Amino acid sequence: MTVSTKLFADTMLKRFDTLNEEIQLRQTKVSTGKEITQASEKPLEAVQLSALVEHSTQMESFQRNVKTAQDRLALGDTVLQEADAIFVRLREQAIAANNDTFAASDLEAIGIEVGQLREALLGLANTRSSDGQALFGGYATDIIPYQQGEDGRVKYLGDGGEHTLAVSESMRLPTSVNGGEVFMQVQTENGSQSIFDIVDSFEAALLTHSGTKDIVTAQAEGGMTLRINGDRVPREWSFDLSGPDGTTTIVAKGVVGGSSERVLEAINAASDVTGVTASMVNGQLQLNSASGEIKLSNLAVEGVDRAEREPTFTMSVGTDPVETFAPKIQSLEAQLSKIVAGGTDIAISRTTVGARLLRAETQEDVLRTRSVSLDIRINELSSADLEQVITEMKTLMLTQSAARQAYSQIGQTSLFDYLK
């Protein structure tokens, strides 16, 4: 076939362009160290590489989430450790306060310390993370979750949500514990209470210890005069009554402040057991027995589950002097078990945080291993074999140089050269 000069020139120029592109491609591979610089070079490998890179980016996101979870959990552990130490101190003071040899000034000093410990607990409960979010507020992270109301009681304004972060395709890791459960739902003998109510109750018991009694007695000769103090809401009152014939628990339903009828009826219903009778004398409840001692103890009032600074539900006993018979929950003795329950609850919550920290550390190791494996696979697909690429580039450059020389020589040859 006859090849014209123009066709030959066009063919050679296209060949030169192709060689230049091949050389430039290998120069790019050498400079970047990457095997695939364009998806069109190796479409299948490029798709695989893209998927691996996307997966690696996801791994980095999971690792960041694990780090965030670890930071929040570590802070939570520190806070709960401090709270636990406060309850240890409260327990020590509760044991000391129950020592009968303590003077009123000693109890006052303990009360001052308890008040400061309570403020410290409130500050710990309102701890914020490094990014300014309430640690124990649930999903309500932009508020102060624990606030003191007008009645002096601490209220929880957060919710029951628990923050979680994705740390794998199928796992979400909690970054804290439920603040409502930790600080507001301590299970005690008197039902669920907040740690703040527990501490407030202890402080109130210290303040009223010298002015209230949880056991009152009177001799049969003079009898015992009672006056019921309370509000106008009908409640169940119960107490242990001991007389010459025995002891029983008196339960009076529907009792309101200032009214003694229901208590009178309940006492007289058990007279054959106790040997104590009740009657109304000058508007007051009068207890009498044939002999021996009359004793009241273990007073409990429906709805009263903590000590008060000014006890609302009491019985005024006697006339001169008048003794204040307060619910058992008002006594210092009753505070110790609640403080122990509060400390136990904090310790359990700290155990939960520790377990979650362990999960985070385990997941961190798993993600690190997966990330290394992905990096190896990405490197295998994307990294160029520089020795081979350089060899190919040198070969292409030699081919390019030889082709140029051949083209130059053929291009300089005319028809007369062939006719010689």
Model confidence at 309: pLDDT above 80: yes
Model confidence at 124: pLDDT above 90: yes
Rounded Cα distance, 129 and 165, in Å: 15
Q: How many CB atoms lie within 10 A of CB 184?
A: 22
Q: What's the pLDDT score for residue 36?
A: 53
Q: With cut-offs at 50, 70 and 90, classify the pLDDT of residue 140.
A: confident
pLDDT digits (tens, 9 = 90+) for 153-193: 999 998 888 888 999 888 899 988 888 889 999 998 888 99
Find residue 243's DSSP bridge partners.
Answer: 246
Q: Among all chains, which residue has been given the structure tokens 């490998």?
A: 45
Among 8-17, 130-139, 362-371, the minimum mean pLDDT is found in 8-17
Mean pLDDT value across residues 131-140: 89
Q: What's the pLDDT score for residue 418?
A: 47
Rounded Cα distance, 138 and 140, in Å: 5
Mean pLDDT value across residues 362-384: 76
Backbone angles phi, psi at 239, to 5 degrees: -160, 160
Q: What's the pLDDT score for residue 43?
A: 61
pLDDT digits (tens, 9 = 90+) for 207-236: 999 899 999 999 988 899 999 999 999 999
Among 8-12, 175-179, 197-201, 311-315, the minimum mean pLDDT is found in 8-12
Rounded Cα distance, 49 and 55, in Å: 10
Q: What is the number of residues in the chain?
A: 420
Q: Among all chains, which residue has been given the structure tokens 């703040």?
A: 196
Rounded Cα distance, 344 and 338, in Å: 10
Q: What's the pLDDT score for residue 101?
A: 75
Rounded Cα distance, 350 and 76, in Å: 8
| Residue pair 157/169 in contact by the 8 Å Cβ criterion | no
The 3-state DSSP class for residue 320 equals coil
Max mean pLDDT among 39-48, 181-190, 322-331, 365-374 falls in 322-331
Rounded Cα distance, 323 and 211, in Å: 8
Q: Could you tell me the domains of the chain?
A: 58-207+335-368 (1.20.1330.10), 213-328 (no CATH)
pLDDT digits (tens, 9 = 90+) for 18-59: 656 666 656 565 555 555 555 445 565 555 656 767 777 888
Rounded Cα distance, 287 and 277, in Å: 6
Q: With cut-offs at 50, 70 and 90, classify the pLDDT of residue 106.
A: confident
Q: Which is higher by pLDDT, 272 or 131?
A: 272
Model confidence at 404: pLDDT above 70: no
Q: What's the pLDDT score for residue 52?
A: 65
386, two tokens: 């520089």
Q: What's the pLDDT score for residue 235?
A: 95
Among 41-55, 75-89, 278-292, the minimum mean pLDDT is found in 41-55
Q: What's the pLDDT score for residue 398?
A: 63
Rounded Cα distance, 268 and 263, in Å: 9
Mean pLDDT estimate for the chain: 84
The 3-state DSSP class for residue 166 equals strand
Q: With cut-offs at 50, 70 and 90, classify the pLDDT of residue 115.
A: very high
Q: What's the pLDDT score for residue 57?
A: 84
Rounded Cα distance, 182 and 194, in Å: 9
Q: Quote the percentage of the chain above a pLDDT of 90.
A: 57
Distances (CA, A) of 118 to 85, 115, 145, 175, 185: 12, 5, 16, 26, 17
Rounded Cα distance, 196 and 145, in Å: 13
